[in-house]
């Protein structure tokens, strides 16, 4: 039954560029909103670096979620 299934790590590799970009945008916007309480904004470069780092666990979660949805659709 596992033949032809994509493992989570393959899904994560494919999703990483999109997930890392999404995390970077969300970090940038979060720190823009946090200026209201006195925290300085992140530069776009710092947001990109944070997105590259925090994108790894976010990609793994997205891969597991996609695998779950694929399994659910198959059954």
| d(C-alpha 58, C-alpha 64), whole Å | 10
Identify the pLDDT of residue 75.
84
How does pLDDT run across 15-66, given as a tens digit for each residue? 999 999 999 999 999 999 999 999 999 999 999 999 999 999 999 999 999 9
User: Which contacts of 7-16 are long-range, i.e. CB under 8 A and separated by 24 or more positions?
Assistant: 7/67, 8/60, 8/63, 8/64, 8/67, 9/63, 11/62, 11/63, 11/66, 11/67, 12/59, 12/60, 12/62, 12/63, 15/59, 15/62, 15/63, 15/66, 16/55, 16/56, 16/59
Query: pTM (2 decimals)?
Result: 0.84
- In this prediction, residue 48 carries a pLDDT of 96
């Amino acid at each position: 039954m596992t033949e032809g299934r994509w493992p989570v790590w393959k899904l994560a590799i494919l999703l990483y560029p999109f997930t890392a970009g999404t995390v970077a945008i969300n970090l940038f916007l979060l720190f823009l909103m946090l200026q209201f309480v006195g925290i300085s904004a992140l530069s776009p470069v710092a947001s990109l670096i944070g997105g590259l780092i925090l994108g790894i666990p976010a990609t793994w979660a997205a891969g597991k979620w996609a695998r779950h949805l694929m399994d659910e659709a198959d059954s």
